[in-house]
Chain A
Amino acid sequence: AQKITQTQPGMFVQEKEAVTLDCTYDTSDPSYGLFWYKQPSSGEMIFLIYQGSYDQQNATEGRYSLNFQKARKSANLVISASQLGDSAMYFCAMREFGNAGNMLTFGGGTRLMVKP
Chain B
Amino acid sequence: DGGITQSPKYLFRKEGQNVTLSCEQNLNHDAMYWYRQDPGQGLRLIYYSQIVNDFQKGDIAEGYSVSREKKESFPLTVTSAQKNPTAFYLCASSRGGGGVNTGELFFGEGSRLTVL
A: contact size bracket: 20 to 34
Considering the complex, which residues of chain B in the window 86-116 have a beta carbon less than 8 Å from any beta carbon of chain A?
A: 88, 90, 92, 94, 96-98, 102-110, 112
A-side contacts of B107, CB under 8 Å:
44-45
Q: Which residue of the partner chain, among A4, A42, A47, A108, contacts B109 with CB atoms under 8 Å?
A: A42
The answer to whether A44 and B45 have CB atoms under 8 Å apart is no
Residue of A whose beta carbon sits closest to that of B31: A102
Task: Provide the bound-state CA to CA distance between A33 and B98, in Å.
Answer: 12
Chain B nearest CB from A15 CB (Å) reads: 24
Considering the complex, which residues of chain A in the window 23-79 have a beta carbon less than 8 Å from any beta carbon of chain B?
A: 33, 35, 42-45, 47, 50, 52
A-side contacts of B104, CB under 8 Å:
35, 47, 50
Task: Provide the bound-state CA to CA distance between A94 and B96, in Å.
Answer: 15
The answer to whether A91 and B56 have CB atoms under 8 Å apart is no
Chain A nearest CB from B61 CB (Å) reads: 13
Which A residues fall within an 8 A CB radius of B? Answer: 4, 6, 9, 33, 35, 42-45, 47, 50, 52, 91, 95, 97, 100-109, 111
Residue of B whose beta carbon sits closest to that of A100: B50
Query: B48 interface residue, CB < 8 Å from A?
Result: yes
The answer to whether B58 and A44 have CB atoms under 8 Å apart is no
Instruction: Offer 12 A-B interface pairs, CB within 8 angstroms, sorted by A.
Output: A6-B42, A43-B109, A43-B112, A44-B108, A44-B109, A45-B107, A50-B102, A52-B102, A91-B43, A95-B103, A102-B50, A108-B42
Task: Provide the bound-state CA to CA distance between A97 and B94, in Å.
Answer: 14
Q: Which residue of the partner chain, among A35, A50, A103, contacts B48 with CB atoms under 8 Å?
A: A103
Query: B84 interface residue, CB < 8 Å from A?
Result: no
Known contacts A43-B109, A44-B110, A45-B90; A33/B42 CB under 8 A? no
